[in-house]
Amino acid sequence: MFGVVPKSIWNKLQPADENNLCTWAMRCLLIEEGNRLILIDTGIGDKQDARFFSHYYLHGEATLTGSLASRGFSRADVTDVFLTHLHFDHVGGSIVRNGDSLVPAFPNATYWSHKKHWDHAVTPNAREKASFLRDNILPIQESGQLKFVDQLVPKAETSDPHAPVMRFSDSIDIRIVHGHTESMMLPQIRYKNRTVLYMADLMPGINHLPLPYIMAYDIQPLVTLKEKELYLQEAAANNYILFFEHDPINECCTLHQTEKGIRAKERFRLDEA
């Protein structure tokens, strides 16, 4: 999870257990916007076999269905499922088993992906193949509920390659990054007169803020390095809120410049912002 950074260093920040495993979250985000209920990512799901789950030691009581119910919603209420990318820990909850069939977990939702990333996922390279499970991906397309954000009208003409490229909804713009995997989408959300950037796997947790702390999973780590640097500078300069999908403790933070580089300033839950 920390790539080339020695364990003797990162273990002080994110201690591993006796199996050399760290605890991580799979934190999705639910957005109410008018008559739309938008779910960003869907976690790992529960349809894979015991052998698959034996590698990951899932624990805790949280479930996607239970989390929706705690807010007064069911899976049928979700109108849009926005998938940052199609790795199994982000898309697994999108599809469920119904007898011998695999069907969408959100029967009334449109599922949104990025065409370039979708093509990358359905014809994966050998390095990423184990992260793109066909049972998570192909049934979405077969259901007829899949759309690509590429079909949306771009937000504006801009010479800045890192500016939001599309307007997804009234409150959500889309940023595109390529270091972790091809064409991963980062939702940029307007919330309480603030900007919230959903980090997905560009920066999985607060301990990935230092520039060299880049996952070995990333297909282009030097691209990630540049993307991180640009987004950290922008976020610090504009007081963005970073929302972490995988951090087990810290849901959000703001940033400031320190003598060691850009680091976390305030840490909080989004509902405290």
244: which 2 tokens?
A: 């972490």
Burial class (CB in 10 A: 0-12, 13-18, 19+), 173: buried
Helix/strand/coil for 95: strand
HEC per residue, 222-259: HHHHHHHHHHHHHHHHHCCEEECCCCCCCCEEEEEEEC
pLDDT at 20: 92
**Low-confidence spans in the chain with pLDDT less than 50:** none
Residue range 95-113, pLDDT digits in tens: 999 999 999 999 999 999 9
pLDDT at 177: 96
Domains parsed from the chain with CATH numbers: 25-150 (3.60.15.10), 160-273 (3.60.15.10)
Cβ(180)–Cβ(90) below 8 Å: no
Q: 240: closest CA among 188, 182, 179, 178? A: 188
Q: In this predicted model, what pLDDT tens digit does every residue of 53-74 receive, in sequence order?
A: 999 999 998 999 999 999 999 9
Residue 194 token pair: 């603030």
Torsion of CA 89, 84, 82, 42, to 10 degrees: 10
pTM of the model: 0.95
For residue 177 the two structure tokens come to 């990054």
What residues contact residue 148 under an 8 Å CB cut-off, 6+ apart? Answer: 112, 113, 114, 115, 118
* Residue-level pLDDT at 165: 78
Residue keyed to tokens 């979700």: 78
Q: What's the burial of 267, exposed, middle or buried (CB within 10 Å: 0-12/13-18/19+)?
A: middle
Residue 107 in contact with residue 77, Cβ under 8 Å? no
- Predicted confidence at residue 270, as pLDDT, reads 96
